[in-house]
Structure 1
Amino acid sequence: MSERVMPGRTDGLITLDVADALWVALTAGGAVPTTSEALTRSPAHARVGYVLLGGLVVATVRARGDQWSVREVEVRRAAADLNAVRMDRHDLVRIGPFRGAPRQECDEETPLRWRQRIAGELRELGSSERAARHEVGRPSHLAGVDWRRILVEQNRDGTRSWWLPRAVVRLLDAAEHAETQWVHAARTRQANAHVAEPPSHPRRARAAVDGRQPTSRQGPTTSPRPYNAELEGQLYSVLSRKPGTSRKVTQWACAVCHTAPATVLDHCHEHDYVRAPLCQSCNTQERPDHLYSNDIRVANRYRRLFDTDTDHWLRHWHRCPGCRARTTLPLPHLAAWTAHIACQSLRPTHRAPRGRKPCGVLRVSWTGSQQAPRSCLLTVAVDFCPSGEHRLLAQVPYREAVERFRHWLAETAPTVAAAAGPDRLDDLPAQPRPVIVDTNGEGLALF
């Protein structure tokens, strides 16, 4: 190592090798695993003027000769932010592969594009196990995060899928957004410097244009703005066809977590109304398993929406004027609520090492649709019962489920219930839209 990191000298420049060692030392006790070559191995590329560490952009400086350096204080700040991240390894978000999903817009000058990178590497290597064994001693990373150590691969019925902890997905989404903002801001500064540079400083102007010397150590000054119901009442089928909609969505912060930048436009599939822009993490959390099939499993991640974050999610679902006016939820969400809340007392338990454990996994199916309430019937059952004795728990007519939900909503979230009701909107169609079928059962095209 060419130089030592001095604990008291936190405002000076350090080489990339020293910064790598400092990054590893500072993040060793964090929940998110990191790599030892965060600043010197691809996709980090110091010559473009910055590197990504966690969710932050760290500017690079060419100090002397061809040696690139970074400010030690910025490395420490990025490490402190990463160490503050709390990661639940059981709270997973599916990151691919998705058949039939639309390609997301990406800026060719922002090389992170972490979803495409992971998909490309895993398709090439064939499986996460082979990926983990590939190039032993040469860690692969994204923004300094060693994603291979926390990647989960599942294979069900011959279908392979890849999953990462939700906290890491949000972190990488934030890094990608920060990178895009930094590149756009740097491009604007370079263009302005090129126009305003007097003829007596041609060398400095050329350096600013070709990117050999960064014009500023500061990152982007803009951040996603809060969503204030600008799209309320608009139809997704109309809005999604307008050019530039996807780029406009990224200007907002997620309307649920209010921290990550939005990437998708969530909408009600039964009424076609736009709800709000969401980040990928919240959009995946909101999605029921087996979307808009005739049955869903009420997974742990989905049940939490009716427990710890009830008020936020009910308010989000009622951003759809159709659901709000009818004081209900879309059929898959209402089915999940019926299984988890209305039938909770019917779910048996079994002995476990630490007390008793709820039996199996809840599953709810339905016949008919919400367009014919009299014939729509919800059937709540238990899958994977340890003793094989429990199957059918209850059969609840659709109208009864709606009535139960209205009473529960009034008690649980009175402010949300107060904003609902048939008198809140007069121009709703007499019949809701038919349920949109997800033909492949795993694409994100509906979001």
Structure 2
Amino acid sequence: MPISREYARSLFADLTQSAMVPLDPDELIHMPGLAQHGHVFFGDVAVRCYKYKARWMYDERDIRRAGQALAALPMDLDDVVDVQLPAYREFEASDPEEWQRVDWRRRLVWQMFGQARHKAHDGRPYEEWDDSWKRVGANGLPGDLTWEEFIAASSRYRHSQNMAGTRILELLTWSGERWLLPRAYIELLDRWAQREEELVNRARICSSCGLQGPYWDGWRTSTSQGYVTRCPPCSGAAFLPYAGHLRGVQYESARRRGTRADDYLCRLCKKRQASAWDHCHEHGHVRGPLCGSCNTYEGKSTAHSFLQNKEGSALHLLECRVCR
């Protein structure tokens, strides 16, 4: 039976009240892995997301199974071991595909150093910035970052700081020499990393020809039935190129409403099925069909970023005749 995200969150929270691992049921609302593989993880338990009548929902049976499994998960909180965190590396020094992959230890290190850098640079002119924030202090944290500050920052951004739907900082401790976590929790996160990698690799496969796509900037696109993976050649063969036939048409007009955007190829990236008619919000004119990724980027990025990073973006914006 399909249930709403809100009800799924409430049900899951009730089922896992006695769980030993600290869980964040709000993950069911935010759906962090939706675009990558269509599941929400709690530890190594993957809950599938479904699109039903244009809304993302869950199967109640999946929520109950996940909640019961996590409530029964044994964990000895006194049996702690060294986390063995890797050395810090800058994002710029990493392959984009590498830092997209699931590695919870590396992600934890980036969170620590990211907060230390933010504290060191906040309010200081650029010419005074240095690398002092990279030095690890006696408390195990880099720079002048305190544990209280790290906890506070992680609470503000907990949905990006969570690990597999769990609140890792509630279990992490500093021995004076090493970072420690319960052995069973480390094993749980390691199983999560392996399981999520499997789901991501499966979701990278083109549904039409079976070719596996890139990890970075993949072929997934949002449709009315959910996310679908198609390679650019298969998308080009399946959907129509947009030829500007709605140029000058108002978004609210009957002519636009009679033409489905998802019959077309995205006019910007030209490799995904379109999902929406983008339009000028000031003048109301249709600009063209965009995939979910390009449409979101156009709506949420800065004008400079959109124009710099999306080929053909200036001509796309000028599809509005009044803007032109």
TM-score, with normalisation over the residues of structure 2? Answer: 0.48
**Larger Rg belongs to:** 1
Larger helix percent = 2
TM-score, with normalisation over the residues of structure 1? Answer: 0.36
Higher relative contact order (CA 8 A, sep 6+): 2
